[in-house]
Amino acid sequence: MNKSFFGFLVVLTTGLMGSSFAIGKMGLVYMSPLLLVGVRFTLAGVIMSLVVLALKRKHPVKLVEWFQFAVIGFFQTAGVMGAVFLSMRTITAGEASILVFTSPMLVVIVGTVFLKAKYRLAQWIGVGVGFLGVFITLGASLDLMEAGTLLGFYAAISWTVATFLLKKWGPSFDTWVMTAYQMLFGGLLILVCSMFIESIKFIATPSSMFIILWLAIMASIVQFAIWFYLLEREEPGKVSAFLFLVPLFGVLSGWALLQEKPHISSLIGGSLILVGIFLVNKPRHKSA
**Of 12, 27, 6, nearest in space to 216 by CA:** 27
What is the DSSP-derived secondary structure letter of residue 91? S
| 71 vs 191: CA distance, rounded Å | 16
Report the distance separating Cα 25 and Cα 100, nearest Å. 15
CA distances from residue 226 to 6, 7, 158, 179, 267 in whole angstroms, order as listed: 10, 12, 23, 13, 28
Full DSSP string of 150-165: HHHHHHHHHHHHHHHH
- Residue 112: per-residue pLDDT: 84
Kindly report, residue by residue over 135-155, the tens digit of the pLDDT: 776 665 555 567 888 898 899
Boundaries of every domain in the chain = 17-281
Distance CA 182, CA 254 (A): 28
Query: Does residue 180 surpass a pLDDT of 50?
Result: yes
SS3 content of the chain, % helix, strand, coil (to 5): 80, 0, 20
Q: Which of the residue ranges 95-109, 180-194, 201-215, 232-246 would you say has the lowest mean pLDDT?
A: 232-246
Contact 32, 200 (CB under 8 A): yes
Q: How far apart are alpha carbons 50 and 54 in whole angstroms?
A: 6
Span of 18-22, 116-120, 126-130, 279-283 with lowest mean pLDDT: 279-283
Q: How many CA atoms lie within 13 A of 212 on its CB side?
A: 22
Spatial separation of the C-alpha atoms in residues 217 and 226, rounded to whole Å:
12
More confident residue, 284 or 68: 68
Alpha-carbon distance of 155 to 126, in angstroms, equals: 20
Q: Assign 31 to helix, strand or coil.
A: strand
pLDDT averaged over the chain? 87
Q: Residue 287: pLDDT above 50?
A: no
3-state secondary structure of 202: strand
Provide the pLDDT confidence category of residue 177 given band limits of 50, 70 and 90.
very high
Task: State mean pLDDT over 93-115.
Answer: 83
pLDDT in tens, 27-44: 999 999 999 999 999 999
Stated pTM of the model: 0.86
pLDDT tens per residue, range 46-74: 999 999 999 999 999 999 999 999 999 99
pLDDT of res. 288 = 41
65, exposed or middle or buried, with CB in 10 Å at 0-12, 13-18, 19+? middle
Where would I find the H helices in 173-263?
A: 175-197, 206-213, 223-233, 236-240, 245-258
Q: Report whether pLDDT(77) > 50.
A: yes
